Chain A
Amino acid sequence: MDADFSINLLVLIWPVLIPLTLAALTACLWRSTEAQKIVGMIGLAFILGSAVMLVQAVLRYDVLAVEFGGWEVPFGISFVADRLAAALVMITSVLALCVGIFSLRDIRQLHVKAGFYPLFFGMIAGVNGAFLTGDIFNLYVWFEVMLITSMGLLVLGRTKEQIDGAVKYALLNLFGTVLFLMAVGLLYGAAGTLAFADLARILPTIEASPGLIGAAILFLCAFGIKAGVFPLFFWLPASYHTAPFSIAAIFAGLLTKVGVYAAFRVFTLLFTVDESGIREIVAVVAAFTMLVGVFGAAVQWNIRRILSFHIISQIGYILMGLAVATPLAIAGSIFYIVHHIIVKANLFLVAGAIRRASGTDDLKKTGGLLKSHPWLAVLFLIPALSLAGIPPLSGFWAKFLVIDASFKGEMGWLAAVALFTGLLTLYSMMKIWMEAFWKVPAVERATPRRVPVFMSLPIAILAAVTLTIGFYAEPFVQFAEVASITLTDPGVYVAAIFGESTTELVRAVE
């Protein structure tokens, strides 16, 4: 084993290994909540550092792979990082850091004592593992790591609402993972292998069999449940609004996107959406997901509930890219995922700040925040207008890319649905603006409540990221376009894994 190989290996596994270590460390420090906080914050900086290193490595070598225990790809489990995976790991760590800072003021002693930090880091490990794994059964394992830690996070407060929400969250997601497991079984029966790269090589050579079609449909359902698409989203608005704001923010940003990511991997590398009927299914599902989500949000008066329904409608936009499936559309979706993770999580954090400032998250009872917290109003407008797709914020470019791709891919009707949904999204955001910030509150407070710095700082960081992506979109769009190549052309992915062994791959590029 030479130096090149060990550098390569560490870059890939740090984003998973560090959170796992932190989960163990914070669990050991169970009694001292202060120590857990300190270790947690330092650890989050390390996670961010590891993600930066991964992105640098991927920019240099395109696709990186590491085989554990030296077992070559079809036999051993591998971690693979292409641009998409690296970008998502990067965004995950930025988000984890911001939510971590926010949680210092949002998460109460009760939650920390119930094990917030170990579960939080466990979940980050699960999310990063799911992004980086190169093996479909291993993906299932990371899904489960994510699921069990997120269920723990959901019931930390042990309120009646949380337990009720967790029951629905747990059962529907358990059902989803069983479908995933069945799909893996059928796929293994048909192809005899589980590594993505090997499957991408073998599947085009075997004829469609009932088992393979069944596997594809089950994957679609399983990832659909995880991603919260129509008509499988019911667990999401039933549970997300019960969690504390920090936890809801990290759920909203990451969990559904892991489902979307898995769908993109499986339906580009393994199955194609062309000529298989899947394109039509995904297109219709995407349209209904957008509409149902946005209509669901329109009737709500609780900020968290509005935002929960908007997660669903935004997933529809991302799926549009998969339905159109041209390289341009996939690139648009990748850009959209990155934009959406930042913006959605930030809106939940802003909701937490609104709650802190006005004492409630019921829009009918709040008001007057523009006068008492003008900076919070600005910080709300950035992600809110970005979510609705107002230029020049990041959401505009994201929507522009997927809608443009739909028109070019002869799916004009889908683009029309997306534009209509954008209008209703703006309606919901304006509702929050009018009610929470603009209107005169029912009961004026003599002294306005202060929003702690640790709450406004992460909101400002995420808003800055949104502004950066918005005003300086070109490099991000280019990155997404290059990233879409490994998805739309499985050959690149396969060649990177099988072309040479990892050490030689690194040397070859050098």
Chain B
Amino acid sequence: MTLAYAAIIAILAGCGIYMILAQNLVRIILGVSLLAASANILIFLSGRVNSEVPPIIPSGAEALADTAANPLPQALVLTAIVIGFSLTAFAAALAVKAYRSLGTLDTDEMLDAEALGAPFPVPAASKTVAAKTEG
């Protein structure tokens, strides 16, 4: 069971990193989301997913039974999912804005920040893209 989880984490993380290496901004954002998903499963696995007994202290007892599931990883994963979601939403909004104002989603063509005050001439993306569409 652990091996299966480990394999899933490895595949997700591998796919995530492969997509992060892409040039397209949307693919990169999806890649980061995949990587974040693998991190979440990793936390889940770290908490030993081998019990289905709910973590409730029975009446009269002082502590949880040894067989009970560990509730902490679930709390952690829940927090991480919420944070990850908001960050992905921001990144997606940023991508939309980047596409509208820079005219491209290709990270190789995004050179506007690089061109600002650069010691060497750098063609700004928005200009090269504009030139392309005009040409």
Residues of A within 8 A of B (CB): 137, 140-141, 144, 147-148, 151-152, 155, 158, 160-168, 170-171, 174-175, 177-178, 181-182, 184-186, 188-189, 194, 238-239, 241-242, 299-302, 304-305, 361-362
Tell me whether B46 and A188 are in contact (CB under 8 A): yes
A363 and chain B: residue at smallest CB distance: B117
Select one of A168, A184, A185, A242 contacting B116, CB under 8 A: A242
Query: In angstroms, how far is the closest chain A Cβ from the Cβ of B6?
Result: 11
| Chain B residues with CB under 8 A of A163 | 94, 97-98, 101-102, 112
Query: Once the chains bind, are B43 and A181 in contact (CB under 8 Å)?
Result: yes
Q: Is the CB of B94 within 8 A of A170?
A: yes
The answer to whether residues A242 and B113 also contact, given A151-B90, A188-B46 and a CB cut-off of 8 A, is yes
Interface SS of chain B: helix, strand, loop or mixed?
A: helix
Q: Does B20 contact A (CB under 8 A)?
A: yes
Chain A binding surface, main DSSP class: helix
Question: How far does the Cβ of B38 sit from chain A's closest Cβ, in whole Å?
Answer: 8
Residues of chain A within 8 A of B87, CB atoms compared: 144, 147-148, 170, 174, 177
A282 to nearest B CB, angstroms? 24
With A164-B113, A166-B94 known as contacts, the answer to whether A141 contacts B73 (CB < 8 A) is no
Q: Please, could you name 19 A-B residue pairs with CB atoms under 8 Å apart, sorted by A?
A: A144-B87, A151-B90, A160-B102, A163-B98, A164-B110, A164-B111, A164-B114, A165-B113, A166-B94, A168-B113, A171-B32, A171-B91, A175-B20, A178-B32, A178-B36, A178-B39, A182-B42, A188-B73, A238-B113
Complex Cα distance, B97 from A239, in Å, reads 16
Q: Does B15 make an interface contact (CB < 8 A)?
A: no
Number of interface residues of B (CB under 8 A): 45
Q: How far is the CA of A270 from the CA of B98 in the complex (A)?
A: 41
**Complex Cα gap A300–B118 (Å):** 7
Bound together, the chains give a CA A158 to CA B112 distance in angstroms of 12
Contacts of B25 in A (CB 8 A): 167
Residues of B within 8 A of A147 (CB): 87
Complex formed: what's the CA distance from A23 to B80 in Å? 23
* Distance of A137 Cα from B43 Cα, bound (Å): 11
Query: Chain A residues with Cβ under 8 A from B111's Cβ?
Result: 164
CA distance A155 to B26 in the complex (A): 19
| Assembled-state Cα–Cα distance A184/B39 (Å) | 9
CB distance B83 to A305 under 8 Å?
no
Contact pattern, B 42-64, Cβ under 8 Å of A = 1, otherwise 0: 11011100000000000000000
- Tell me the complex Cα distance, A148–B85, Å: 12
Give, as a whole number of angstroms, the nearest-CB distance from A165 to chain B. Answer: 4
- In the complex, A318→B76 CA distance in Å? 32
Q: A141-B79, A144-B87 are in contact. Are A239 and B113 (CB under 8 A)?
A: yes
Contact yes or no, B43 A170, CB < 8 A: no
Q: Which residues of B contact A174 (CB under 8 A)?
A: 32, 87, 91
A247 CB to closest chain B CB (Å) equals 14
Q: A301 with B98: in contact, given A160-B124, A181-B36, A188-B46 (CB under 8 Å)?
A: no
A113 vs B119: C-alpha distance when bound (angstroms): 33
Which A residues touch B101, using CB under 8 A?
A: 158, 160, 163
CB distance from A354 to the nearest CB of B (A): 13
Is B117 touching A361 in the complex (CB atoms < 8 A)? yes
Bound-state Cα–Cα, A304 to B119, Å: 12
How far does the alpha carbon of A175 sit from the alpha carbon of B35 in the complex, in Å?
Answer: 8
B107 contacts A by Cβ under 8 Å: yes
Known: A170-B94, A175-B32. A164 touches B112 (CB 8 A): yes
Most chain B C-beta atoms within 10 Å of own C-beta, residue among A137, A167, A182, A186: A167
Neighbour of A161 across the interface among B20, B36, B90, B113, CB < 8 A: B113
Residue contact A301 to B83, C-beta cutoff 8 Å? no
Q: Report the Cα distance A188→B43, complex, angstroms.
A: 8
Task: Give the residue of A186, A300, A361 whose beta carbon is less than 8 angstroms from that of B119.
Answer: A300
Instruction: Tell me, rounded to whole Å, the shortest Cβ–Cβ distance linking B57 to chain A.
Output: 13
State how many angstroms separate the Cβ of B5 from the closest Cβ of chain A. 11
Residue of A161, A164, A362 most packed against chain B (CB within 10 A): A164
Do B116 and A167 touch (CB < 8 A)? no
Measured CA separation A147–B32 after assembly (Å) = 15
B28 close to chain A: CB less than 8 A: yes
Contact A184 B117 (CB under 8 A): no
Q: CA A334 – CA B90 in complex, angstroms? A: 34
Q: How many angstroms from the CA of A184 to the CA of B91 in the assembled complex?
A: 23
The docked-state distance in angstroms from the alpha carbon of A162 to that of B25 is 16
Given contacts A148-B87, A181-B43, 8 further A-B contacts (CB under 8 A): A137-B79, A164-B125, A170-B87, A174-B32, A178-B36, A189-B46, A300-B117, A301-B119
